[in-house]
A and B are shown apart, each in its own frame.
Chain A
Amino acid sequence: MPLQFDHVTVHGAQRPRLSDVTETVPGKGITAITGPSGAGKSTLLRLGNRLIAPDEGTVRYRGTDLATLDVLQHRRRVGMVFQRPVVFAGTVRDNLRVAAPQATDAELQQLLDRCELHEDVLDRDADTLSGGEQQRACLARTLATHPETLLMDEPTSALDAQATHALERLIRQEAERGVAVVLVSHDPAQVDRLADARIALDRGHTRS
């Protein structure tokens, strides 16, 4: 059980973003977090990477309270891919080296290959990639830390159909490699295609 949310509440400006949520994410396969806008899906994901901390309750990773873990090490074990691709200034190589400063070019090319990006993009300015390529480069950058769990926050929402299917294929591949994937999605068809387990949220509460 990699991620456990135990009576977790996160306050918001108007109302709680999450309210007394207790959920467990399975340690393998793809778990989809579903729900309408404002349901608290992204909040749950950000708790998992410790980008935010709960106001009440406990988030555990493999049984240990995240508040007591080395957060920098935890974030490398539990990687995160954001809704919109966030590329850093510089080439794709520069981007990958932020996550893995010691990686050799051969290792970086393996990462690109794993994300179905041609090795030529290594020297390309990351800004010049298409949206789909940028999102796959961000995935490669996250995979460079060798995460056990991958948190993905609507990673295909800004992509066209072709890029979406390419990324979905990669998500499935990573799950088959043994990486536990937690995928936020508002697309029921995508959830049907990918999810092995589901967590449904609505207005900050777990929906049964």
Chain B
Amino acid sequence: MDGTTDIGWVGFALSLTAVALAAGASWRLGLRLQRDILESSARALVQMLIAAAALGLVIGDDAPIALSWLWVAGIVLYAANAVRRRAPELPGIFPVALASTTGTAAVGLGIAFGAGIFPVEGKTLVPVSAMLVGNALKSGVVAATLLRDDLATQRDQIEARLALGLPSQEAAKPLTRRILRTSISPQIENIRGLGIVFLPGAMTGLILAGVDPLDAVLVQLALMYLILGAVVVTTTLTVLGARRRVFSSDHRLLPMARSVSDE
């Protein structure tokens, strides 16, 4: 690592002044966020050190690639469970979320590694998977919670359509279309603002590590396009998969009960 990125422990410690500044501002403005700021910063430090140690084992030069794939499987499971935790009222949401996250990982990694954009090695597999699944997770959670909330508040709209003899997928179409648009739009805005509003993390990290800016931009763009695809795949599979489970086979909108999905 060159001097640009080797900040060392002293450099790291100096960055904590920003945390102190944030906590101080919170105290001065009476926001009562000091404890949260300090706790979350400390927690991040511990988690990242553990992650660094674990990643050292998983993506080290001598580590078998199977370990990286195992890491990816863990990420996928975690993401599916996170969606379930946020919208437990949706019946059968865990298998739906697991299928959608797995599908997302399969499509995203298939393009990223199957098409040869990145070489198949731990150092690329783990971070690329984390970026894809991590972003897909955020969109999946948004989609699932919106679906849960809309099913509760828009039930009369759906049943009015069902009562006219529309099949369940047609009755739910206005709702699912709105949810998909809402869930996917932020990622489109992210891409739209790329290079103008913000310089994303991967690109910044590569430039800091001394990589040519054009090469860094190409890597970042490839990742952003993959993330966009991942977000679309996840939200679509989550919403359409969950939609199937909230209707009976004879086109009745089933009641949502916490006990059903908590089983």
Contact = CB atoms under 8 A, between A and B. Distances in A.
Interface of A: 49-53, 67, 71-76, 79-80, 82, 84, 86, 88-89, 98-99, 138, 141-142, 145
B251 to A, nearest CB: 6
A18 B122 CA distance: 61
Given A71-B250, A72-B167, A86-B157, A51 B174 contact: no
Contact of A76 (B157, B164, B250, B252): B164
Nearest to A74: B165
Nearest to A87: B160
B166 A80 contact: no
Identify which of B161, B164, B252 gathers the most chain A CB atoms within 10 Å of its CB.
B164
A125 to B, nearest CB: 15
Contact of B165 (A52, A53, A88, A145): A145
B122 to A, nearest CB: 50
B166 to A, nearest CB: 7
19 contacts: A49-B163, A51-B163, A51-B253, A71-B250, A72-B165, A74-B165, A75-B162, A75-B163, A76-B165, A79-B163, A79-B164, A80-B163, A84-B156, A86-B157, A86-B160, A88-B160, A88-B174, A99-B164, A145-B165
Contact of A88 (B157, B163, B167, B248): B157
Interface string B172-197: 00100000000000000000000000
Closest A-B pairs by Cβ, 6 of them: A76-B165, A86-B160, A80-B163, A75-B165, A99-B164, A71-B250
B150 interface: no
A74 B251 CA distance: 12
Identify which of A67, A72, A75 gathers the most chain B CB atoms within 10 Å of its CB.
A72
Contacts of B253: 51
A138 to B, nearest CB: 8
Nearest to B164: A99
A141 B160 CA distance: 10
Identify which of A71, A89, A138, A141 gathers the most chain B CB atoms within 10 Å of its CB.
A71
A167 B81 CA distance: 51
B159 interface: yes
Contact of A75 (B157, B164, B248): B164
Nearest to B159: A51
Contacts of A80: 163
A154 B210 CA distance: 72
Interface in B233-257: 248, 250-253
B53 to A, nearest CB: 50
A50 B250 contact: yes
Given A53-B252, A71-B250, A99-B164, 11 more contacts: A53-B248, A73-B165, A75-B163, A75-B165, A82-B159, A82-B160, A86-B160, A88-B157, A88-B161, A99-B165, A142-B164
A96 to B, nearest CB: 10
Contacts of B156: 82, 84, 86
A73 B164 CA distance: 9
A189 B99 CA distance: 56
Contacts of B161: 88, 98
Nearest to B251: A71
A79 B160 CA distance: 10
Nearest to B249: A71
Interface string B76-103: 0000000000000000000000000000
Nearest to A90: B174
B252 A145 contact: no
Nearest to A89: B174
A201 B156 CA distance: 24
Contact of B250 (A53, A88, A141): A53
Contacts of B252: 50-53
Interface string B146-171: 00000000001101111111110000
Contacts of B160: 82, 86, 88, 138
A115 to B, nearest CB: 15
B109 to A, nearest CB: 39
A73 B165 CA distance: 6
